[in-house]
Structure 1
Amino acid sequence: MPAQVEFETIPQLFTRLVDHYRGNERTVLRHKPDDTWLDISWEELEKRVQSMAGFLHKQGVRPGDRVAILSENRPEWAITDLATQILGGINVSIYNTLPASKVAYILNDSGAKWVIVSVPVQRKKVEAVLDECPALEGIVVMSALPDGAPDAMVHWEEALQAGHSYWKSHRETLRKLGRDVSPSDTSALIYTSGTTGDPKGVMLSHRNFCVNAKGALDRVSFHSTDHHLSFLPLCHAFERTAGYTAVLAAGAKISYAESIEALTQNLTEVKPTVLISVPRVFEKVYSRVREKAEQGSAIKQGIFNWAVGVGERYAEAEQDGSAGLLLSMQQKLAHKLVFSELHKKLGGNLRFAASGGAALPKEIGRFFQAAGIVIAEGYGLTETAPVLSVNPLEAPRFGTVGHIVPDVTVAIKDLNDDSPIGTLSGNDYPSSLTTEEGEIVVKGPNVMEAYWKRPEETRGAFDADGWYHTGDVGRFVDGYLQVTDRIKHMLVSQGGKNIYPGPIEEYFKTKAPFDQVVVLGDDRPFLTALIVPDFDAVRLQARDSGEPEHRDDNEALVEERWVDRLFSKHISAYNKQAPAHEKIRAFHLVAEPFTVENGMLTPTLKNKRRVIEDEYADEIDAMYERFARRSS
């Protein structure tokens, strides 16, 4: 569905949407600060945005200045962003999971004038590094100010009150700033989550965001009646474009989840029609559904498998219009007996879901489709604002990331000599192009301006013909883009074999009792793996078989010989169908899950491979030594 208004900049989008809905008392944002969901109308949002803009301008923020936000998803994030945009400023969003040292790095690198922080833990990070950030002039705090707060610290409500008066006195001057914003002006610096080294600031313009949001709306049918539950970090380009800019442009409503821990409860309260997520969330839901089915009797397991089969046949028949009366009746029965509970846990009102940020395992996509929930998997990078492709809801092909979005051109280039293998424009959709594998490169108005203050790295990201090199490997399959893995993740064995670990790791993600898997083997004679078990699934098996389950003691559980045999059985089953150079010869069970908090995952839940390898270097070396001794 097209956007409700025409726009080329974020200020145009905001002011025109406010005028479009003025007088309707239409809700745009919802949040739950205490125990009750509260609505914010377009008119109320306008008032708060203008007040924050007035405050920032009063403090000296001018076009091109950077305003940082260190906050979880909440209305104040949107208010600060929109206030910054209508002043011609630049949003610098900081992941709230970053430590104080990284916060200081981003504040200094961006040269942010002001930072807006949410809860005390975020405020304390900024307080701890305040003396290290000479460009920072002030802090707005959403929570209560501490005793003895520095003069530069202002409470959110106080800032709005001062800004409201200032806006009234300078209304025309401030409105002109928004009108003067050009599509080529920088809208935001989004700092890459950084699996290694310091994060880079990606300069994204108003054109980048606006073109990309409109392209996403062309491919994915958001309606003005839709309701999105926002929980992915708004610092990330995926949520910022798909779950914020595009949703607003469609005239839809956004509710902010209280936290990722409260997501299950919030889903049933909000009853969203759209769910935008990363694969990790869908994997967790799938694992719980599968475990529950396996706990049941043989009859219940049989009904579950029958329902999945019916759902898959119905989804396939529905795409080509061949779903007859019998199959339709079977599908309704399958929904009632098996899938209705899943829908209920997701709020009971879901039209579709979208997945990005990492690869969605094919088995999970097919399962949700069988359950009556299509997941539109897409693909992109921060540097492309971010959406490059997305699967059509009416004809998804799981295992691919869909069709190229409008105004974007993607090419596949040979990994060895950089020669073109195949090129496809989003304006050519649909297409039947199929190619060999190579690096994915891209051109389009969604591609970043540059890396902030990194001219050499900017030049290195583009080739002489102006193609941005994604660093991802992929191919076209019947006009659908398929992504294999990151080039930098490629493992080169001592035998000279090139191996991409991503597809191997995806294979295990859908198998009980695996939770997280990291495949290793660069410059090694063979592949090994670090495995975080799905501890709930393992303990369930312990109860069924009478083995020790070591409740609340994962360290003891992974040391059990029966657990080792359990995983050895699954590894052996994989090895039987894997090429020799992709077989897993040894593994190590890890008792502590990889998380953002322990530094093993990025804020978007991707493995920090180098960090994980460094942390478990001794265990990895021991795996290879044990196998070598057994083989000698």
Structure 2
Amino acid sequence: MPTVVAFETLTELFLNLTNKYKGKKKTAFGRKPSPNGEYEAITWEKVAEDVNAMAAYLVEHGIEQGDRVAILSENRYEWAVVDLAIQLVGGVNVSLYTSLPPNQCEYILQNSEAELFFVSTGIQLKKAIEIFESCEHVRQVIAFDEPRVESQLEEPYVVLYENVMSEGFKLYPKHEEEIHERTKRIAPEDLATLIYTSGTTGKPKGAMLTHRNIVSNVKAAHQHIHIDENDRALSFLPLCHSFERTAGYYAIIAGGGEIYYAESVDTVAKNLTEVHPTIVMSVPRLFEKIYNLVTKSVEEGSTVKKKIFNWAFDVGRQYADGKRGLTALQKPVADKLVFDKLKERTGGNIRFFVSGGAALPAEIGHFFMAAGLNILEGYGLTETSPIMAANSYDHEKMGTVGQVLPGVTVAIQRLEDNKIIAQLSGEDYPTDLTSEPGEILCKGPNVMKGYWKNDEATREMIDDEEWLHTGDVGRFVDGNLQITDRIKHMIVNAGGKNIYPGPIEDLFKTSKWVDQLVVVGERQPFMAALIVPDFEVLEKYANENGLRYESMEDLLAKDEIQSIFKKEIRYYSDELASHEKIRDFRLVSHEFSVESGELTPTLKVKRRVIEEKYGDLIEDIFADAAV
């Protein structure tokens, strides 16, 4: 479906949307001013006033075309105002994850040479104050929230957002003509944003995405997936990540949809029932948690409850696979008995979820499809703006990331000899194309301009023929792209066998006892795993079975608990090839997290960090192994 307005730049997207909806009281965004309050709608007229005021402030304070402006904030309306104002005056948005420590924020601000720094809460303002003296280009820090620590406002370079807006409203008549002239000079090839990779190793690199990169991806997404003025999205994935930026923000407003901001990641379950969204962008972790909660509830229920659930699931699977007749008559009953409660918990209006950022276990995708909650899994990188391929509504193929987007070309390059063995563009739909695995390459208008001030890294990523090398292994299956794993994640065992840990880890995520799992075994005679249990399930089991323990470490060491995980390992390993089976494991007493440095801000495992941090456990596993 086409977008509701024509545009070639993000600047034009904003201008044409505000013109289209002028005087129509059309909702653009929704926010919750206080935790106990209700959501309030913000119209496009209000958005236009606020963005123009912010743009006037940026001009007054010396932001020229091409200058960088940084934002360190959770998803919220102010984030959108600042971003749209940056695009309006030709600036470049530099966004930072709120989970980043001060030293990493400092590096990004220094590397990007950002001149103004917008921050959200007092926690983020504290970081800004700590690093301000080291960031020579930053002239001012603007705080969205009034800090509880009054001394933070005593710094001469700190100003409040509300004061900035008041000044901007007064300045707009002065700079209106200048802003108008700038909008006419902004071209598709101009830089729109720097998105710094949250890579698992080394310093972050700033991917340079132009207006053309992002706009081409937004338009391609609209050709692939239907989004219109009746849609409402709940936004909670970080806007500094390209998935939420393109798919959950620009693509939604380009279709005339509304964006409501979750209060926080922790309140998503509650906000779903308040906002009643039709579209939700998420990472697999959310779906995994919902799936495990449901299956845990079923397993703890009566025999009758289990039989009803299994029957409903079978009916839902058959219906999702296109079967009708008796199945069509049974489906409403299955919904009423089992699935309607789940739909209510997601707000009751979901048309589809979109999953990205990591692989979605196929079994979990099938579960949601059976429930009538479609998940459209997609794939891409920050460097590809980001979408390269995605499933489309009613054409989902679980276990794949769907078809290549219009305008994008994807190729599979054999690892052994670097020969391209298969290639598809978004205009081709050969449902019989199946290829052997290889590295996934990409070419198209969505491919980044390069890495900011890092030509060497750019040359490593994009070759002389303009193919971007993703570092991911995949193949085509019946015309759909299937992801295997990262090349650098490949484990080579003692026998020389290549093993990709990703699919193995996804398999174990469906166990109610397992929260997180990392496969290890480089140059070893067998595969093993570090397992983070589902502590809630574990503690409930311990209480019900009279297991006394003084600490989590004490509980995990008990023979009864070790026995449970031995059985789970054997059960799931039956589905694996001999060289892939998990032969041993160690339980970890705390969750892998962003704060502890074991996950990236997009919740990807930092394997090298985990292997170093838990080196003693890994050594213990293989201490007696014959080499």
Q: TM-score range by the shorter chain?
A: over 0.9
Once the 2 structures are TM-superposed, how far is the Cα of residue 413 of structure 1 from its aligned partner? 0.6
Letter in 2 for 1:139: V
Distance 2:571 2:162 in 1: 60
2:104 aligned with 1:102, yes or no?
yes
Once the 2 structures are TM-superposed, how far is the Cα of residue 36 of structure 1 from its aligned partner? 2.3
Could you tell me whether the CA contact under 8 Å between 1:389 and 1:404 is conserved in 2? yes
Q: Give the equivalent residue in structure 2 for 1:220.
A: 225
2:196 aligned with 1:191, yes or no?
yes
Distance 2:12 2:575 in 1: 55
Q: Give the equivalent residue in structure 2 for 1:252.
A: 257
Letter in 2 for 1:191: Y
Distance 1:176 1:226 in 2: 33
Distance 2:574 2:310 in 1: 25
Could you tell me whether the CA contact under 8 Å between 1:12 and 1:179 is conserved in 2? no
Distance 1:52 1:614 in 2: 46
Distance 1:394 1:144 in 2: 47
Could you tell me whether the CA contact under 8 Å between 2:233 and 2:259 is conserved in 1? yes
Q: Give the equivalent residue in structure 1 for 2:492.
A: 492
Which string of whole-angstrom CA distances, capped at 9 and with x for unpartnered residues, describes residues 366-406 of structure 1? 00000001100000000000000001211211000000000
Which string of whole-angstrom CA distances, capped at 9 and with x for unpartnered residues, describes residues 261-289 of structure 1? 11111111111111110000000000001
Q: TM-score, normalised by structure 2?
A: 0.97
2:324 aligned with 1:323, yes or no?
yes
Could you tell me whether the CA contact under 8 Å between 2:209 and 2:385 is conserved in 1? yes
Which string of whole-angstrom CA distances, capped at 9 and with x for unpartnered residues, describes residues 426-446 of structure 1? 011354311111110010000
Distance 1:198 1:249 in 2: 34
Q: How does 1:291-330 map onto structure 2 within 5 Å?
A: 291-317=296-322, 322-324=323-325, 326-330=326-330
Q: Which runs of 5+ in 1 are unaligned?
A: none
Letter in 2 for 1:600: E
Q: Which runs of 5+ in 2 are unaligned?
A: none
Once the 2 structures are TM-superposed, how far is the Cα of residue 598 of structure 1 from its aligned partner? 1.4
Letter in 2 for 1:224: E
Q: How does 1:57-68 map onto structure 2 within 5 Å?
A: 57-68=59-70
Q: Percent identity?
A: 49
Aligned with 1:469: secondary structure? strand
Aligned with 2:475: secondary structure? strand
Once the 2 structures are TM-superposed, how far is the Cα of residue 220 of structure 1 from its aligned partner? 1.2
Which string of whole-angstrom CA distances, capped at 9 and with x for unpartnered residues, describes residues 98-155 of structure 1? 0011110100010000010010000000100111101111111111253352222111
Aligned with 2:473: secondary structure? strand
2:163 aligned with 1:165, yes or no?
no
Distance 2:329 2:552 in 1: 45
Q: Give the equivalent residue in structure 2 for 1:206.
A: 211
Could you tell me whether the CA contact under 8 Å between 1:403 and 1:430 is conserved in 2? no
Q: Give the equivalent residue in structure 1 for 2:54.
A: 52
Once the 2 structures are TM-superposed, how far is the Cα of residue 555 of structure 1 from its aligned partner? 2.3
How many residue pairs get matched? Answer: 622
Q: Give the equivalent residue in structure 2 for 1:548.
A: 547
Aligned with 2:30: secondary structure? strand
Which string of whole-angstrom CA distances, capped at 9 and with x for unpartnered residues, describes residues 448-489 of structure 1? 000000001101112232111000000001100001000010
Letter in 2 for 1:383: E
Q: Give the equivalent residue in structure 2 for 1:406.
A: 406
Distance 2:577 2:269 in 1: 40
Distance 2:281 2:457 in 1: 31
Q: TM-score, normalised by structure 1?
A: 0.97
Choose the corresponding residue for 2:187, options 176, 182, 190: 182
Which string of whole-angstrom CA distances, capped at 9 and with x for unpartnered residues, describes residues 608-631 of structure 1? 111111111111111111x43xx7
Could you tell me whether the CA contact under 8 Å between 2:430 and 2:478 is conserved in 1? no
Q: How does 1:127-138 map onto structure 2 within 5 Å?
A: 127-138=129-140
Distance 1:438 1:413 in 2: 5
Alpha-carbon RMSD across the aligned residues, in angstroms, is 1.4
Aligned with 1:519: secondary structure? strand
Aligned with 1:369: secondary structure? helix
Once the 2 structures are TM-superposed, how far is the Cα of residue 556 of structure 1 from its aligned partner? 2.4
Q: Give the equivalent residue in structure 2 for 1:462.
A: 462
Once the 2 structures are TM-superposed, how far is the Cα of residue 415 of structure 1 from its aligned partner? 0.4
Once the 2 structures are TM-superposed, how far is the Cα of residue 601 of structure 1 from its aligned partner? 1.0
2:42 aligned with 1:43, yes or no?
no
Distance 1:44 1:549, change over 3 A: farther
Could you tell me whether the CA contact under 8 Å between 1:231 and 1:257 is conserved in 2? yes
Could you tell me whether the CA contact under 8 Å between 2:59 and 2:175 is conserved in 1? no
Distance 1:556 1:258 in 2: 37
Which string of whole-angstrom CA distances, capped at 9 and with x for unpartnered residues, describes residues 477-536 of structure 1? 110000100001011112211110001000000122111000011222321110001122
Could you tell me whether the CA contact under 8 Å between 1:405 and 1:426 is conserved in 2? yes
